[in-house]
Structure 1
């Protein structure tokens, strides 16, 4: 270190000790800065700050950079002042950019809100117009609907014309028509037409179906169908077993994919070949339908008294029947 540098350092240390020994908040000499107002006053008096200039980071950066240009300042002080000046300038630039972005974002948001409001107004107007149009059409169609409904109600035959509006029917016409088949009964009839009942043949002690579960039973039956097709048998499209229910007596009630397939399989030749491929010890039982028949005679006596009673019951002349016999 040279003598000049040593002297400068000693002077700076004495100035620092003098400053630290001063009483805080009180002026040690004329023009000493101790608050915001005196700070502005000093900077303006020295020409570092114009009277009408707004105090912000950018203006303070300019002031600090001016101070760093004062002659005879130590190099460390100059570098510190310049560093502070550049940092203040950067902070000021960032603040300006942030304000600009916020202002632009606010403007964009306002424009978007305005555009959405206009679009919503247009959509609401369109919906309102469409609703008014529909209401108008309904009002115009209402008189015609009432007239058509009255005409159909007065129709004694119960035949309803095909109309698009007011398709009503009187109670008398509904009651005199054929009853509708219940949905459950229709579904049961449809399912019954697709069923095949397989059971062990008479005289057989072993049932080849008893040890199989439902999945295996379906697979066995479909394999028999496929084997029939492989050997040259033609079968309709969609002939396939889709389900089975094991019965308590050991039989299996199969259900096919459609009624056409079940009808085809009930054919004499097809049924014979199917049972052979199922093992040869099974039969297909035809479906038995139970029916209730009234007024069926269970006995007939061919004596004269019986014939005469029969003639009287049928309003025929006595002895008009020449011959009677029992079956």
Structure 2
């Protein structure tokens, strides 16, 4: 029986055990276990006795034993989980709990068996075992993230070992993941049939769930030799009736479900089930492939097999696909588009999300397709939830302008003429995912479907538990990058949101620009949050939409803080192009048709807090500017396009800079960055091979700039 007040002496232990439990580890200022138990705990600690340690570990589900003690296996489990936590009170409580319970367990064993040398040897052997297990687990943790899967098809699952991280983690799942993991595993065990006859004959009563299970079991038994390679113990545990004449069977294991879904096996099973009237409904996992070359055919089996082979997937891991935007609505110059792909398993989907897909020679990013609230395509309303086929509305409503006509026939192009049926406001359409009603519906749906919060499709592998908008999902390098939730899909509930980078806490050091490189993805892999540098990519894209989209797709926010474009692409509405990862900064009044088309455009990393920077209104369509503030410095950044035949832009730039510096409260801590396309030639910055450009006129123009 464990007492409430642990003893404070370890005199019964052998010398070597005392050293390891006390200060024999080389940490001179570490307390001994006796001191830890006898001294008052830190005010922030919640574990300060055997009782509180036991209560804490049972509460979080890390031990399952009913006795008041701790086994070596449970100690290893707890230490492994503590190693994966962020430093803080939770980690401290976990380690303190192990110390209290393991030490108390050994003290009770010593008290019950005597304090002779044999007991000391047994304790020393136990400590050796624990140390060996901890070292083995730590080594596994260090190697696991960098060890690629060796089996095909690629997956996150590795062969389990006696003390593998995945095996230990699956025994005691954290509370916030356990429900999602259980639903995912239950889905893997399901076999869904459609067009199932639910009556024995037309006038008979519908079959019950029990009778449906009996029917499936009899069909399996009647398959004869076709079941020779069936998994041992295959059984139908239950059935559930779904809408539309579907039946979901729950198998005893995922292996049995996968075996039954094989085409030849399913064909034999359905022949004995109902004479082949039913069909298997294939369970798929939907992902979005971004910026796919339009030469790819997502509905072409040959193209899908080629993409699988080039991406390291197995045949038929990609079951089918389709373009999100209809092909007949593309512009004549469009070269890339987004596609929805149907993956066969969560492992193949997770591999695509993690590593990207190689399609038509290009590595494209992949993200999970999140579940969204259902909107009727006839009346455009969310409530009550229904499909267009079941809609009772008298007229068909346009999803773009809310007029009484089909959405496909709408001629409205201007944003301000669009109208939303659900929120009743103009400026956006009913299908726009920036609609506040949609955002509210999506947040409520995500509360009921927590799978929307995960970057991957969760499995028993802890690496698939990465949350969207959490620090762990912030911008890994291409092609294995983890995109932030797209603008078309609102973010998960605010409790899971990642806090923006706070410029006020980061010392800013301006450095000389890096040498130009051919591929932006080759840029050093650091982020603004982790670096003292402000990283800016500037380029003239010569008004090319293809060049601009390709550049933005390759410049990931983990590498750059600002993109400065000169002569960017502008459409007929005088809007340029960006992405949900960047915040656009235009020249003032850029949509005014009376003004010249802007030739300057800035994109600011969306991860940088908007409280740390602000746009500046400079009276020129060829200048965009922002002010960035830190706790110590202020930085004025000007992006300029300067015409070849005059210096008007330079005069405006000089005047605006002078005025803003004059009003700065601390000019000595204010820095100015001019960058862009100045259209001037000088030996100061031009290569020697361009000496033919160093004419008297050009040198005079560059001298004025200098």
Query: Above 0.5 in TM-score?
Result: no
- Scaled by the length of structure 1, what TM-score is found? 0.40
More strand by share: 2
More helix by share: 1
- Scaled by the length of structure 2, what TM-score is found? 0.20
